[in-house]
A and B are shown apart, each in its own frame.
Chain A
Amino acid sequence: QSALTQPPSASGSPGQSVTISCTGTSSDVGGYNYVSWYRQHPGKAPKLIIYDVTKRPSGVPDRFSGSKAGNTASLTVSGLQAEDEADYYCSSYAGNNNLLFGGGTKLTVL
């Protein structure tokens, strides 16, 4: 199975909103409500920010939100802050005890 498809880059100015897409197939993103999003700063470990499409772990601000339509999931970051500049990865359960990640999106805060 191939990795999920994310745009390689995205950008926005402080205070603005930006949305990152994650496209899969009916066998992964479209077939399960098990999409997660992770933020990774350079040289650091990933951090879970969204799971099960829309849920936020404790401590993650509500500036981060997730959604899904068909085979495409999306992460929206509202009220962009300098600390949001990072790589963002989506993942989805893909059946048969398998998990796929997206290729990652580098978010630049202008």
Chain B
Amino acid sequence: EVQLLESGGGLGQPGGSLRLSCATSGFAFHTYAMTWVRQAPGRGLEWVSAISGSGASPYYADSVKGRFTISRDNSKNTLFLQMNSLRAEDTAVYYCARVLLFLRCFDAWGQGNLVTVSS
């Protein structure tokens, strides 16, 4: 069974940092690109970032470029999102997801992890 489990969210200060993790199991992690998608409270989905299976190619939405860094550890089947220079508008539930076809569709999702940016 494919499983994705996010962790590391919580309360962050404006201008501060948080690191999200997504532990996966049930599939050949290194063969899949992975992505992060967020959803602000009561709002729609927003694509945040994606990374190739090897980890060599990261991609970012303009709203987080230069502040967030996506990475992966294929030896531990884990995806990461380092979030720096946090802003109030980064407050959202962050989902990790498996990419079925690159930047076209995501076929397995984690349960989500809430990040709240507030002083």
Q: How far is the CB of A96 from chain B (nearest CB, A)?
A: 9
> Could you tell me the distance between the alpha carbons of A100 and B50 in the complex, rounded to whole angstroms?
13
In the bound complex, residues from chain B placing their C-beta under 8 Å from that of A40 are: 45
- Answer yes or no: B55 CB below 8 A from chain A CBs: no
Contact B95 A36 (CB under 8 A): no
A interface residue count range (under 10 / 10 to 19 / 20 to 34 / 35 or more): 20 to 34
Q: How far is the CB of B37 from chain A (nearest CB, A)?
A: 8
Q: How far is the CB of B115 from chain A (nearest CB, A)?
A: 16
- Answer yes or no: A48 CB below 8 A from chain B CBs: yes
Contact B107 A48 (CB under 8 A): yes
Contact A46 B109 (CB under 8 A): yes
Q: Say which residue of A45, A89, A104 sits within 8 Å of B111 (CB atoms).
A: A45
Contact A100 B47 (CB under 8 A): yes
In the bound complex, residues from chain A placing their C-beta under 8 Å from that of B101 are: 34, 51-52
Q: Return the chain B residue nearest A55 by Cβ.
A: B105
> Could you tell me the distance between the alpha carbons of A58 and B100 in the complex, rounded to whole angstroms?
12
Given A45-B111, A46-B95, A97-B59 in contact, is the A36-B105 Cβ separation under 8 Å? Answer: yes
Contact B103 A99 (CB under 8 A): yes
Q: How far is the CB of B17 from chain A (nearest CB, A)?
A: 25
Which chain B residues numbered 94 to 119 have a C-beta less than 8 Å away from chain A?
Answer: 95, 100-101, 103-107, 109-112
- Answer yes or no: A93 CB below 8 A from chain B CBs: yes
Which chain A residues numbered 24 to 75 have a C-beta less than 8 Å away from chain B?
Answer: 34, 36, 38, 40, 44-48, 51-52, 57
- Answer yes or no: B26 CB below 8 A from chain A CBs: no
Q: Say which residue of A38, A44, A45, A98 sits within 8 Å of B103 (CB atoms).
A: A98
In the bound complex, residues from chain A placing their C-beta under 8 Å from that of B103 are: 34, 93, 97-99
21 sampled A-B residue pairs with Cβ under 8 A? A34-B105, A36-B105, A36-B106, A38-B45, A45-B112, A46-B37, A46-B95, A46-B106, A47-B109, A48-B100, A51-B101, A91-B47, A91-B105, A93-B104, A98-B47, A98-B59, A99-B47, A99-B103, A99-B104, A100-B47, A101-B47
